[in-house]
Structure 1
């Protein structure tokens, strides 16, 4: 279902795909390109979602669709610009993408090739065809999700990561996506594919940042495939501008005895929609989902999660926390599915929010659907203000009220931030959140 106001952007994107398709020549018959063609047909059928769609009732994308973006924007971003957004003590395999395009001159790979393959998505179809053909588009829903369909059809870059069987990667893989809007309104479709082999282990981080004062639209899809006994820690960090629209989907597929830990931390962004979908398709699987969002001004942050238990003897644990300031809005929609075969499932979900302003709004919708009978499941959500008694106690010890509030909120956020196991990312977030909450002390 599409509407009049998003017709122009939709037409622009359809035209972009026609241009891309014309450049394929004889390559259109390849499996990846056939998938792209099918995905674009689905986007044409679906159109952009409206608030009449249940999944988007609290998140209106009309502002995003009312303008055009340059999806082929160039950038003169350089190492000098990188100094302005430098992350102290950043170590590991670090890849930079400017406006969705890989920049080798800024990037570095430190792990040995027998452990790790990291290839920009634009090159992976030639260099890693067996990985791309087998896993690209196999898990993220390009048939029913308009933005995933759009990404599947039009994504030109991102990264493909493959961790070999029985390898533990000592250095993390850190992907930095920078939107350079200093000259014009920019759009980017980014596609990532992470394949973690049997008994392999990796830490992955995606960090998103915008520079410049123009509008930015980034549409990202990251697909994870975890084989037997694999382990992946995944961190998504968002510090984007008030003129940035970020639509992101992370799709995780887990096999027997695999372990996934995901933390999504959104500090800034004008309009943010994060979808985290996990499929537990084996036995003795663990999945942990953590989220933290700190909107201010008129920022809008929407987190949708789905945990799909398909087999017995698995557990999932979910904790999302929000601190909402000024006129910001937040959304949390968390679904847990426990299929008929998923006996002995343990599944827990909790969403806790603090609002510091009467003008801030939080919309929550926890959902639990169970078809099995031998399970332990619970879900819940709370939204309120800070504990007045605790604030009064701190004031009685000589701490000013606004500072007491800020310290309590930092402690509230620490439940999520403290568990991040990449030190440079953790330190960066602690500083960013402390700085943002500092407005409460003024």
Structure 2
């Protein structure tokens, strides 16, 4: 077979690919995909504004899987916020640690992927869809499968804690498969933590099946170190009369690319996507979302907001597909941005592709500066300019934060947002 690589970094990943004993056919298929397609280059439309490969060429020096580091129970305790009550699953440089986790008698199942059947692995997040899914499939050492039983309501949240501290720019490859059976409910939280300011590349894949008439919330906080390169592929299949809600808050990192796809597989589905990115310095965050309406009488809602200053850059690309059979679809998409610096940049591209004729779909985007009239109004009532500015920015961000359904996590992120808006903007 002729190798068609688009950049040097593709060859290096393939040359240094590890050998693991599980999921061999899936890994070989992924190697072939990366070999044929290469990793995205600047000329690839989907990565037009976010050159992950170029950044990797500049900073990655060790093309090997990152090994676990010293993470103690005290380290975990230090990163659990006030009021948190639930189970937590710890990933140490992308590798699940049962010893550091706490999920006994929690009402859901946890298995290592290598020890489970995991027949759905790779069927929701397909390697051919994105080269970084294929790359994760090659490099993940092991992952976990979470199973929520039929009819089970998991009352407390399930927290994924990612502790990252890779040496010499090594590769971190978390892999999670979540299967929520019929008539179940669960809330998932995710927090990524950099233990120092070293360079690392985190390339994660999460697959979720939301069973019939189930309800799932998944909230993520990205607050990585300023040198972190983060790519996440988050893929969901949502079945009849089920609801899935995603909220992602991005605060830090060098380059962050979030791919989020919701497939509404049947009638009565609801898919919600909310995002907030507060960017300063030279942080670059790219949110790519995709909603696929395949059947009639389904609904999707999407709201992403950004506040950018210094030389930061934001990218939003949201796609809504409405298939021919998906009559009576109701789909809403909005992206709003505030630029607080002449050097901050945002590229936004909301998209609709509709093949049905009886639908209600809307999309839009706004990019501007802080409302001077509202600022003057607050100052006229005795509020100083900096405080007034912070209040307006917080009100803008708060519309996203209110969709985080776990109160303790919402309060924790709320505090980080208020601190950021009060001191750095």
One fold, TM greater than 0.5?
yes
Residue 220 in structure 1 maps to residue 214 in structure 2: no
Q: Check 1:415–1:158 CA distance in 2 against 1; reply closer, same or farther (3 A cut).
A: farther
Residue 14 in structure 1 maps to residue 14 in structure 2: yes
The one of 37, 53, 61 equivalent to 2:44 is 53
Measured after TM superposition, the shift of residue 110 of structure 1 is 4.3
Residue matched to 2:410: 426
Q: What is the root-mean-square deviation of aligned Cα atoms in Å? A: 1.6
Please state whether the residue corresponding to 1:157 is helix, strand or coil. coil
Contact kept in structure 2, 1:93 and 1:111, CA below 8 Å: no
Measured after TM superposition, the shift of residue 440 of structure 1 is 4.8
Residue matched to 1:63: 55
Residue matched to 1:35: 26
Q: C-alpha deviations, 1:260-306, integer Å up to 9, x for none?
A: 11101111111100011011110111111101111110000000000
Contact kept in structure 1, 2:315 and 2:348, CA below 8 Å: yes
Structure number having the greater helix percentage: 1
Q: Check 1:386–1:42 CA distance in 2 against 1; reply closer, same or farther (3 A cut).
A: same
Residue matched to 2:83: 89
Question: Which TM-score applies when normalising by structure 1?
Answer: 0.91
Q: C-alpha deviations, 1:315-343, integer Å up to 9, x for none?
A: 11111011111110000000000000000
Q: C-alpha deviations, 1:94-118, integer Å up to 9, x for none?
A: 0111111122332101444xx3102
Task: Name the CA distance, whole Å, in 1 between partners of 2:128 and 2:401.
Answer: 35
Task: Name the CA distance, whole Å, in 2 between partners of 1:325 and 1:14.
Answer: 38
Residue matched to 1:105: 99
Residue 79 in structure 1 maps to residue 73 in structure 2: yes
Please state whether the residue corresponding to 1:20 is helix, strand or coil. coil
Q: C-alpha deviations, 1:360-404, integer Å up to 9, x for none?
A: 000000110000001010000001011111111111222221221
Q: Check 1:98–1:161 CA distance in 2 against 1; reply closer, same or farther (3 A cut).
A: same
The one of 118, 125, 145 equivalent to 2:114 is 125
Q: C-alpha deviations, 1:44-80, integer Å up to 9, x for none?
A: 1121211100001111121123322342334122233
Q: Check 1:82–1:186 CA distance in 2 against 1; reply closer, same or farther (3 A cut).
A: farther
Task: Name the CA distance, whole Å, in 1 between partners of 2:170 and 2:83.
Answer: 30
After TM superposition, the structure 1 = structure 2 runs for residues 136-147 of structure 1, keeping only pairs within 5 Å, are 136-147=121-132
The one of 147, 154, 179 equivalent to 2:164 is 179
Residue 151 in structure 1 maps to residue 136 in structure 2: yes
After TM superposition, the structure 1 = structure 2 runs for residues 176-255 of structure 1, keeping only pairs within 5 Å, are 176-181=161-166, 184-255=168-239
Q: C-alpha deviations, 1:396-416, integer Å up to 9, x for none?
A: 222221221111111111111
Measured after TM superposition, the shift of residue 151 of structure 1 is 0.9
The one of 397, 409, 418 equivalent to 2:393 is 409
Question: Which TM-score applies when normalising by structure 2?
Answer: 0.95
Task: Name the CA distance, whole Å, in 1 between partners of 2:75 and 2:124.
Answer: 36
The one of 345, 348, 356 equivalent to 2:329 is 345
| Uncovered stretches (5+) of structure 1, i.e. residues with no partner | none
Measured after TM superposition, the shift of residue 145 of structure 1 is 1.1
